[in-house]
Structure 1
Amino acid sequence: MSQTIKLKKGFDINLAGKAEKKTIEVPQPDTYALKPTDFNGLSRPKVVVKEGDNVKAGSALFFERNVEDILYTSPVSGEVVEIKRGEKRKVLEVKILADKKIEFENFKKYTASDISNLSKEDAIGQLKQSGGWTNIIQRPYGCIANPADTPKSIFISAFDTSPLAPDYDYVLSGQEQYFQAGIDILKKFTSGTIHVSIDGKAEVSQLFSQTKDIQLNKISGPHPAGNVGVQIHHIDPIAKGDIVWTVNPVGVAMIGKLFLEGVYDTSRLVAVTGSRVKERGYVKMYGGACFNKLAENVEGTDNRYISGNVLTGEGIGSNGYLGFYHNQITVIPEGKYEEFFGWILPSTNKLSYHKAFGMLTFLNGKEKEFEVDTNTHGEERNFVVTGTFEEVMPMDILPTYLFKAILAEDYDDMEALGIYEVIEEDVALCEFVDVSKNPIQEILREGIDLIKEG
């Protein structure tokens, strides 16, 4: 039975630079990259191509040494021009010089009726060989799902409340058949429910309301109401030993297209956002696209290019590459300056959750859009207990004590305090409101890795 959930805890970060619902024509980049660092738990990738090789979209580039049958494949066709490595020869990027016309590896096509009769094993096999399996994420841990597991349910968040987030109704417009086919594939992997959550404050999109074999839930409230982890917590919580899978709605459509068209097509509409972007809208690009062609659409020279949003995205520079799971690009100014008592001076232009620091901010109401930069307005200091984390965390866990348990490497307390229910995006708002400026998301990942390896 569908659920309607209203959340009160959280905080909406209303930034200037939201993408308009229009498609912008931008020259396609010359190079693309697949980055092992985009995949949690991928610690020992084995590269199966060398520089100078020609590949197609869907050709294998690397795999995890311990899980050789799940392939990580090229988003485009072209020539492998660089295998970038870091310390201890760690693979950082596999770069592809793209063809002018993208060619695809051919996988087996199925009609909608064929999909209903497709075996679970055949569906898993095609997903693993094409690279499509990497769209399926496991909770706990936030890593790529194990095909040998059976999740108790599968969750898809069809809306995003993070700053300047893309509108999935617009992004997936015209892809109804692919989304439904993706659902039909996913339902083979669980005897439980496939949950699709939509914004309870918005009009219900036909794309999601007409999708079959799902439970459509309405969630309303401030950020992080759109986070799939929050939705799992309130609808089908994870206990120790439980497994839940999650898929981004764009990933669902990719999976559906893989089976209906026989190609692994990573092209998507990506929201180009941020106060430094001149013309904001959506750009169609393949996964792993280089940002360099966007430079003419950006004001100023000292900017932070972010793959994703300002809370959880990755700063990658103007020549960086779109992250595998990202459907958004954000460009904001750098904040390379110091403020003398700047944090204590009242202002109407500073965005802050704390009324003591941004007291005049709240006089402008919720509709004011703020132009922010990367300045943290303070430096890292001792962990101060303020109770603020609990005010913005719409989950029945105690985040302050969880973070302390991680720092103390207390396994029992980490489990008891809910580490199985959260990944980085679920605590990103805690990092934003933290007066101690601690890297909360990094701390949580360290704890997750400890629990997973322990």
Structure 2
Amino acid sequence: MAKVMRIKKGLSLNLKGKAPQECLSPLSQSSTYAVVPDDFPGLTMPKIMVRPGDQVKAGTPLMHYKGCEELVFTSPVSGEVTAVNRGAKRKVLSIEVKPDGKQDYEEFQIGKDLKAEELKQILLKSGMWTLLRQRPFDRLANPAIEPRDIFVTANFTAPLAAEFDYLVQGREDDLQVGLTALSKLTKGQVYFGIKSGSKISVKDVVTVEIEGPHPAGLCGTMINKLAPINKGETVWTLKATDVLVMGRFLRTGKVDYTRKIAVTGSDAAQHGYVDIMPGQKIEEAFGGKLCVKADHERVIAGDVLTGRRVSSESPFFPQGCDQITVIPEGDDVDEFFGWATPGFGKFSMSRTFFSWMCGKKKEYVMDARIKGGERAIIMSNEYDKVFPLDIFPEYLIKAIIAFDIPRMEALGIYEVAPEDFALCEFVDTSKIELQHLVREGLDHLYKEIN
């Protein structure tokens, strides 16, 4: 019988533009596909292994982690390496590959009943290891450290998030193979979080039914409520959709990063699910049929709380992402009286508008405006209303700003990731970029300790 975890604090944004459980037309192929180092937290100085003009297959290593040569990042498609793009101080921005249309794969021999060390090596050589994240520090998992436990979430509670029970249909074997493999990589438990009422049935893991509003489905919430991290301990985290990718590789021996994602948002021209390859140019893939309007739209790779804006500087679909959200930019809006209106169609956490009288089922259309300016002040008790972790978020943020290491450690810095503070950032009247602060704090702490 599954464990049950109930969360009361949080906030589930009911936005317009949910994805119905139906598949859209297949996407067009991009002119180039890219591996972007910034998609992998902790990958600051990768070593390039290819040059423009080299021929590669799907699964061919393109670069490796400087501190661990066996940890490689592989090509999503077969074709020709066309560019190694660099920025300031020769920082690697992306490695682009022009597909040849054949999609040839590197051959990996996957034996049966692999032992832990053999499994680790095959995941490292194939690039599948890059799906794993570790805490503390929320960065790529260190192959030299065995995790105490592994946390997998299949309960996506973010706004307009994909429905995992639909994504896993027909791929139950991939899920089980991936979870069984993870259970071999730790002497502890593999916690598998599902939504309440889900019919997913798996073995070799501890299944946990999770009830409550967002961020109930985040791995950080699971860690805090089920098995908190103490100093000196390491756990791994990943989403169940990443387990599907890993399980497919272990079944077939082919490095195929393709995943089914949800196309959502009030201003999306179409809603539903579609197969996409990470590294694909989003605008090219949809052929201009992604947005309702040509201008004043914001396309987000991910959800509205933690996703990344798609632009000419960042046009590629990132690895580990499960949805695309399209919302109005809001730069063409000129409101009469602004906040002084009753605002029946506007969402407000603090009940500034009368929309709270419309009930929880009302769907809102939100744009990308901040509606205010950043202030150097942290309002008391705002974060606690939506932060379910047994951590004092205000004090932890202040400790990060001051970079008070003992205070940060005492307040739980090792348990958290930027995504855990997304809702706090949303309700913050001071408009402080909390996720960015937490990311900087984790990176600086990692450098200080190592």
Decide: shared fold, TM above 0.5: yes
Deviations 1:340-378 (A, max 9, x none): 7523433011122111x23x1211111111111110111
Structure 1: gaps of 5 or more residues:
none
Q: Where in structure 2 are the equivalents of 1:227-376 lying within 5 Å?
A: 227-292=218-283, 293-294=285-286, 295-301=288-294, 302-317=296-311, 320-336=315-331, 337=333, 342-355=338-351, 357-358=352-353, 360-376=354-370
- Corresponding residue SS for 2:339: coil
Q: Where in structure 2 are the equivalents of 1:77-226 lying within 5 Å?
A: 77-110=78-111, 114-115=112-113, 118-200=114-196, 203-205=197-199, 208-209=200-201, 211-226=202-217
Tell me how far apart the structure 2 counterparts of residues 287 and 449 of structure 1 sit (CA, whole Å). Answer: 25
- Corresponding residue SS for 1:317: coil
Tell me how far apart the structure 1 counterparts of residues 440 and 323 of structure 2 sit (CA, whole Å). Answer: 26
Which residue pairs with 2:425 in the alignment?
A: 431
Q: Aligned-pair distance for 1:327?
A: 1.2
Tell me how far apart the structure 2 counterparts of residues 449 and 363 of structure 1 sit (CA, whole Å). Answer: 43
Q: Aligned-pair distance for 1:156?
A: 0.5
Residues 32, 289 of structure 1: 8 Å contact kept: yes
Q: Aligned-pair distance for 1:231?
A: 0.8
Query: Which amino acid letter does the alignment assign opposite residue 255 of structure 2?
Result: Y
Q: Aligned-pair distance for 1:445?
A: 0.9
Query: Which amino acid letter does the alignment assign opposite residue 269 of structure 1?
Result: K
Tell me how far apart the structure 1 counterparts of residues 46 and 426 of structure 2 sit (CA, whole Å). Answer: 33
Residues 70, 133 of structure 1: 8 Å contact kept: yes
Tell me how far apart the structure 1 counterparts of residues 399 and 77 of structure 2 sit (CA, whole Å). Answer: 44
Deviations 1:239-259 (A, max 9, x none): 111111112112212222222
- Corresponding residue SS for 1:419: coil
Q: Aligned-pair distance for 1:167?
A: 0.9
Q: Is 2:23 the counterpart of 1:30?
A: no
Q: Is 2:409 the counterpart of 1:415?
A: yes
Alpha-carbon spacing, 1:28–1:170, altered in 2? closer, same or farther (3 Å): farther
Residues 107, 258 of structure 1: 8 Å contact kept: no
Q: Aligned-pair distance for 1:339?
A: 5.5
Residues 339, 377 of structure 1: 8 Å contact kept: no
Q: Aligned-pair distance for 1:317?
A: 2.1
Tell me how far apart the structure 2 counterparts of residues 316 and 212 of structure 1 sit (CA, whole Å). Answer: 38
- Corresponding residue SS for 1:245: strand
Deviations 1:33-75 (A, max 9, x none): 1110011111101111112222111111111212111001111
- Corresponding residue SS for 2:150: strand
Bigger mean CA deviation after superposition, 393-402 or 75-84: 75-84
Tell me how far apart the structure 2 counterparts of residues 89 and 367 of structure 1 sit (CA, whole Å). Answer: 50
Which residue pairs with 1:19 in the alignment?
A: 19
Query: Which amino acid letter does the alignment assign opposite residue 11 of structure 1?
Result: L
Tell me how far apart the structure 1 counterparts of residues 324 and 189 of structure 2 sit (CA, whole Å). Answer: 32
Query: Which amino acid letter does the alignment assign opposite residue 264 of structure 1?
Result: V
**What is the TM-score of this pair, normalised by structure 1?**
0.94
Tell me how far apart the structure 2 counterparts of residues 270 and 28 of structure 1 sit (CA, whole Å). Answer: 16
Q: Is 2:434 the counterpart of 1:440?
A: yes
Query: Which amino acid letter does the alignment assign opposite residue 414 of structure 1?
Result: M
Query: Which amino acid letter does the alignment assign opposite residue 17 of structure 1?
Result: G
Tell me how far apart the structure 1 counterparts of residues 334 and 40 of structure 2 sit (CA, whole Å). Answer: 35
Deviations 1:378-403 (A, max 9, x none): 11112132311011000111101111
- Corresponding residue SS for 2:346: coil
Q: Is 2:402 the counterpart of 1:402?
A: no
Q: Is 2:57 the counterpart of 1:63?
A: no
Tell me how far apart the structure 1 counterparts of residues 274 and 14 of structure 2 sit (CA, whole Å). Answer: 22
Residues 154, 241 of structure 2: 8 Å contact kept: no
Which residue pairs with 1:9 in the alignment?
A: 9
Q: Aligned-pair distance for 1:338?
A: 6.2
Q: Is 2:385 the counterpart of 1:384?
A: no
- Corresponding residue SS for 1:343: helix
Number of aligned residue pairs: give it: 442
Deviations 1:131-151 (A, max 9, x none): 000111101111111112111
- Corresponding residue SS for 1:412: helix
Alpha-carbon spacing, 1:134–1:237, altered in 2? closer, same or farther (3 Å): same
Tell me how far apart the structure 2 counterparts of residues 241 and 396 of structure 1 sit (CA, whole Å). Answer: 19
Residues 28, 285 of structure 1: 8 Å contact kept: no
Tell me how far apart the structure 1 counterparts of residues 421 and 125 of structure 2 sit (CA, whole Å). Answer: 34
Tell me how far apart the structure 2 counterparts of residues 390 and 39 of structure 1 sit (CA, whole Å). Answer: 29
Residues 348, 356 of structure 2: 8 Å contact kept: no
- Corresponding residue SS for 2:338: coil
- Corresponding residue SS for 1:451: helix
Query: Which amino acid letter does the alignment assign opposite residue 66 of structure 1?
Result: G
Q: Aligned-pair distance for 1:280?
A: 0.4
Residues 299, 310 of structure 2: 8 Å contact kept: yes
Deviations 1:414-446 (A, max 9, x none): 111111111011000000000000000011111
Residues 32, 98 of structure 2: 8 Å contact kept: yes
Query: Which amino acid letter does the alignment assign opposite residue 381 of structure 2?
Result: G
Alpha-carbon spacing, 1:370–1:262, altered in 2? closer, same or farther (3 Å): same
Residues 46, 65 of structure 1: 8 Å contact kept: yes
Tell me how far apart the structure 2 counterparts of residues 423 and 341 of structure 1 sit (CA, whole Å). Answer: 38
